[in-house]
Amino acid sequence: MVPRVHVHLSPPGINSLRLAQFGLKLVTAGALALTISLWWVGITLHDKIDTVAQQTRMISTETAQIVAQAEAKGLDLSEHAIQNIPQHISFVKQVRERVGFSWTQLLTDLEAAVPEGLMMSTVSLDEKTNTVLLNGSTQTLQDLNQLIHQLEKHHAFHDVILTQHAKKKNKNVKGLTHQPFIIFSMKVSYIPNHQHSKPVKS
């Protein structure tokens, strides 16, 4: 009986080579898919760019027409003029506020907030900041504290600041000393166009 002999005709390492070929095929397929995706994204992006460019041209054309119409009517729509628009608006607002300001209303509001027995020597207004400057005198610190309290409670005033106060002695011609009194200075923010309501009571 003749013995059987098994001979492998395939070269060594063929299995590893097949695995490598399969891996290369996967890499190639993946690269091809990525290339197709990038190509599609590029086409979509170009379409969007073309759309934006077309819209930009339309806006530029319409803007040029508006500027031409404005210039024909004597309006200045240059970049410098447009930048100055907020300043003009602010100026107009300030003018409107000044026109609507009423000294009568300010004095009425002060009268509602100033307690009895307290005397005001001067009342002035800083129109740029709507700050009222008050100078006056009173007999006691309690009256001064009451003034600050009532100004803070009043709907037309806020941010009361006592800038200075000092106790003085009043002497007559004969040199006799009377009851001392307190002089003070303060500033308070005022709302000119506030809504009127009932005066504040202590």
Q: What is the pLDDT of residues 55-69, one digit of tens each?
A: 888 888 888 888 778
Mean pLDDT of 46-54: 86
pLDDT of residue 37: 85
Q: What is the pLDDT of residue 202?
A: 47
Would you say residue 2 has pLDDT above 80? no
198: confidence class by pLDDT, cuts 50, 70, 90: very low
CATH architecture of 102-190: 2-Layer Sandwich (3.30)
Close Cβ partners of 169 (under 8 Å, ≥ 6 residues apart): 177, 178, 180
At 50 the pLDDT is 85
User: Is the per-residue pLDDT at 172 higher than 50?
Assistant: yes
User: Which pLDDT band, with edges at 50, 70 and 90, does 185 fall under?
Assistant: very high
pLDDT above 80: residue 13:
no
Does residue 124 sit in helix, strand or coil?
strand
Q: For residues 183 and 105, give the distance between their C-alpha atoms in angstroms, rounded to a whole number.
A: 25
What is the pTM (predicted TM-score) of this model? 0.46
Amino acid at 177: T
Task: Tell me the pLDDT band of 197, cut-offs 50, 70 and 90.
Answer: very low
Residue 163 backbone class (left: φ over 0; alpha: ψ -120 to 50; beta: rest): alpha
Q: State the Cα–Cα distance between residues 123 and 136, nearest whole angstrom.
A: 9
More confident residue, 114 or 177: 114
Q: Could you tell me the residue ranges of all domains in the chain?
A: 15-83, 102-190
Is the confidence at residue 186, as pLDDT, over 90? yes
Look over the chain and give the mean of its residue pLDDT values, rounded to a whole number. Answer: 78
